[in-house]
Structure 1
Amino acid sequence: MSDLLPDDLDLVSITQLRQVANQSPQPYRLHLQVESRIEKTTSAGSPFFEVKLVDAADSFIWRVFDNNPLFQDVARLARNTFIQLAGQWVEGKYGLEPRQVQWRPLADDEASALLLGDPELASRQHADYADITAFVSSMRDPRLLKLCQVFLERHGERFRRTGAARRNHHARRGGLVEHVAQMMRCAAAIAGVYPQLNRDLMIAGVLFHDCGKLWENAYVESGFVMPYNLTAEMLGHIPLGLELVNKLWRDLLEAPEAVGWTALEPASEVVRLHLLHLIASHHGTHEFGSPVLPKTPEAVALHHVDNIDAKLEMFRRGYAGSKELAPGIFEKFVPWPVNIVAPLPAVHLPPTESVP
C-alpha cells in the first residue's frame, strides 16, 4: 500500500479495476456489496472463506484464508453488507486478488451512490431511460401511447433496477433499460428503412417484449441480488408479460379517453392481439421458449432486433473480460461457442483526402 490513507485512493469499479490490475502499480479502493460468504476447507484442512463481492456491473470472489489478519472480521461479515476494500490489486490464479487490504463499512450515502452504478454507467442508464420516454412520447396510436405511459408510471422504478438476463447479456442492475433503449433505436431505424412496418407497434413491442422480467430478473431495492421467486420460476417472463399487458389493457378500457377509441381503425382488439403476438414470439423459435413463431413483419423484425442487441452486448463483454490469446483474438466465453476476433476499425483518412 502507498502512504495514502485508504479514503484518499482512487475509487474504481470492478470493471475498471480489471483493466488496470496488472498494468498500474498503485493501490485502489472499491465500493462493494457482499452477495455471499461461504466457508470452505483447503486440501490441508485449513478453513477459508469465499466472499462474492458485487457492484452495479460486475463481481468477483475474494478468498480469505485463516492466516489473513482480516479472517475473523470476514467471519462476521453478513450478506448484503456494503463495504469498502482498499489495497494493492493483482490478477492472480483465481482472478482479482487484493494485497495489504483495509476495509470498512460504507456510509448510507455511499451505499446509495453504489446502487446507481459508477458515474459512467449511471449516466448512460439515465440517458437510456430518457430515450425510452422520448420514443414512447413520439407514438401516434393513442392506445399504444397510453399503454406504454401507464406501464412506465406504474412500474418505472422496478424497470430501472431489472436486469435483461441473469448471465448472458445486460446482466446487471438497470441492464433491461439499456437493452430496451438500444432496441428502440434500432427498431426506429429499421422502421424508417421499411415503412411498411408499424413503427408504433414496434416501439411498444420493444418496451413490453421482456416486461415479464420485472418479476423474473428484478434486483432487490437495496442491493445487487437478483432473487429467484416461485411465480417467475413456474411461468417465465413471456407468460408474465402477456398477463401484464392484458391487465394494463383492461384497465385502459375503463379510462375516460377509451370512449374515443371505439371509432379507431384498426380496432383496439386487433391492436392488442398484435402486441401480444410480439411478446409471445420474440424468442423466434419454440426451442428457445416462444409459444408461437413470428407471423407478422413486426414480429420478425422485433425478434432480430432483440437478438442483434443481445449478441453485440456479448461481444462487448467478451472484449472487456476474456483472455487475449493472441493480438486481436479473445478466448471464447459462455455462451459464445468460439473464440472472438477484434472488429475491423473504420478507416480514418487525413483531412485532405476523401472517398469519391
Structure 2
Amino acid sequence: MKIKNFSDGVKVEAFYVVKRSEVKKASNGNPYLEIQLSDGIDVVKGRRFDYSDKAIEPNSVVKVLGKYDQKFNSVQIYSLNMAEKGEYPADLFLPKCPKDVGSMWEDLLNILEQYVDDNELKGLLMLVFEKHGDDFKEAPGALAHHHAYLGGLLEHTIAVADSASKLAITYKSDLSLTVAGAILHDLGKIWEYKWDGLQFEMSDQGALLGHISLGISVISIYAKSTIKDEEKRNKLLHIIGSHHGLVEWGAIKEPMIPEAVIVAAADNLDANMFKIYAAQEDAQPGEVTKWDRTMKRHIWVKEKTKDDYAG
C-alpha cells in the first residue's frame, strides 16, 4: 500500500524501506522503536511499542503490520519483520524502465538471431543469458546520468546493439563479432551495482574492480568453453575492455579494431542521447539547460520533444 493512499484507521500491511530508526523510552519506562518508513516516494512515521531489539539500519526493507492514525500521521505497528531480497518485488521502491521488460528481452533475442551468425558467439551469448538472464533484465544501466532505473541495462544494451549492427553493415566490419560485443559490453554492471533497497548502490566488487574488469572476468571463463579460436576470444574481450573509448574515460585499452571502434561509438551515442532527451524534459522550449558536467555543454531545447524525433 502506498503511503499517499493511507486513510484514518486503515490497516497497513506492506513492505517499506527504513529511512531512520531510534529506540526510545516511553513514559512508563518501556522501550519503543520510532521509525521512518518510505515507499520510495513518501515517508511516514511509525512506532512499535514494547520493542526489545536494536534500531534498524537505514535502507533495510521491513514488512509492517499496523494501523494508520491520521491525527498523528503515524503508523501504530503491531508486527515488524526484516525482509530478504526475493520476498518483495525488486521494483517496489526503485524507478523502473517505462518499457515492458518482456518485450525488450524479445527484441534483444531477435537482434541476436538476426545479426549473430557465428555459432560460437551465439553459443556464448545463449550461455550468458541462461546463467544471468534474470539479472540482465533487472539491472540498472547506471547509478545516475543515463538509464538509471531497473531494466536500464537491457534498454541501453538493445540501443547499442541495434546501432552497432547498422554501423557494422555500413563499414563492413565483422557483424557477428560487433553485435556480440555490443550485447556483452556492459554485462559487468550486473555485479557492479546493487538494487535491493531504496536506492541503487555500488557493490564492493564494483568499487574495487569496475564493470569492465568484472565483465571481462566472467566472459573470459564462458568463452573458453564456447569459442575455440583464441583470436576471436581476444577480439571480443578487447571490445568489452575498450568500449569507454578513451583510457581517461575508463577504457582498459583504446579501440584497436573496427568492431571495437563501432561499439564504443554506439555506447557513447546512446548515453549522450539519453542525457539530451532527459535535459529537454526538464527545461522549457527555447531555454538553454544548465551546464551538463558529463557532456561538458549546455543543451538547447527546441519546441520538439523526444516523440517528435521518433518518426
Q: Is the 8 A contact 1:35 1:53 kept in 2?
A: no
Partner of residue 212 from structure 1, selected from 185, 188, 198: 188
- Residue 294 of structure 2 is aligned to residue 317 of structure 1: no
Q: Is the 8 A contact 1:281 1:291 kept in 2?
A: yes
- Residue 175 of structure 2 is aligned to residue 176 of structure 1: no
Task: State the secondary structure of the residue aligned to 2:147.
Answer: coil
Change (3 A) 1:161 1:120: closer
Q: Is the 8 A contact 2:286 2:302 kept in 1?
A: no
Quote the sequence identity (%).
25
Q: Matched residues in 2 for 1:275 and 1:215: separation?
A: 20
Question: Partner residue of 1:230?
Answer: 204
Task: State the secondary structure of the residue aligned to 1:160.
Answer: helix
Provide, for residues 242-299 of structure 1, a one-character-per-residue CA deviation record: whole Å limited to 9, x for no partner.
111110012336xxxxxxx6xxxxxx11111110110111111111111211111111
Question: Partner residue of 1:286?
Answer: 247
Per the TM alignment, residue 338 of structure 1 is displaced from its structure 2 partner at its CA by: 3.8
Which amino acid in the other structure matches residue 267 of structure 2?
A: D
Question: Partner residue of 1:79?
Answer: 60
What's the TM-score, normalizing by structure 2? Answer: 0.70
Per the TM alignment, residue 318 of structure 1 is displaced from its structure 2 partner at its CA by: 1.9
Q: Matched residues in 1 for 2:159 and 2:130: separation?
A: 21
Q: Matched residues in 2 for 1:238 and 1:174: separation?
A: 19
Per the TM alignment, residue 331 of structure 1 is displaced from its structure 2 partner at its CA by: 3.3
Q: Is the 8 A contact 1:328 1:341 kept in 2?
A: yes
Which amino acid in the other structure matches residue 301 of structure 2?
A: A
Q: Is the 8 A contact 2:143 2:201 kept in 1?
A: no
| CA RMSD between the two structures | 3.9
> Which blocks of at least 5 consecutive residues in structure 1 are unaligned?
9-30, 40-47, 55-59, 65-69, 84-99, 254-260, 262-267, 347-356
Task: State the secondary structure of the residue aligned to 1:165.
Answer: coil
Q: Matched residues in 2 for 1:202 and 1:101: separation?
A: 56
Per the TM alignment, residue 118 of structure 1 is displaced from its structure 2 partner at its CA by: 8.4
Change (3 A) 1:252 1:113: closer
Q: Is the 8 A contact 1:330 1:339 kept in 2?
A: yes
> Which blocks of at least 5 consecutive residues in structure 2 are unaligned?
8-13, 23-33, 49-54, 65-71, 78-82, 306-311
Task: State the secondary structure of the residue aligned to 1:112.
Answer: coil
- Residue 141 of structure 2 is aligned to residue 164 of structure 1: yes
- Residue 269 of structure 2 is aligned to residue 269 of structure 1: no
- Residue 134 of structure 2 is aligned to residue 154 of structure 1: no
Task: State the secondary structure of the residue aligned to 1:236.
Answer: helix
Q: Is the 8 A contact 2:90 2:195 kept in 1?
A: no
Per the TM alignment, residue 116 of structure 1 is displaced from its structure 2 partner at its CA by: 10
Which amino acid in the other structure matches residue 125 of structure 2?
A: C
Q: Is the 8 A contact 2:244 2:251 kept in 1?
A: yes
Provide, for residues 132-187 of structure 1, a one-character-per-residue CA deviation record: whole Å limited to 9, x for no partner.
11112232101101001100011001111211211121111111001001111111
Task: State the secondary structure of the residue aligned to 1:316.
Answer: helix
1:1-356 pair list within 5 angstroms: 6=5, 34=17, 36-37=19-20, 54=40, 71-73=45-47, 79-81=60-62, 112=89, 114-115=91-92, 121-123=98-100, 125-138=101-114, 139-194=116-171, 196-220=172-196, 223=197, 225-252=199-226, 268-320=229-281, 322-324=282-284, 327-333=286-292, 335-343=294-302, 345=304
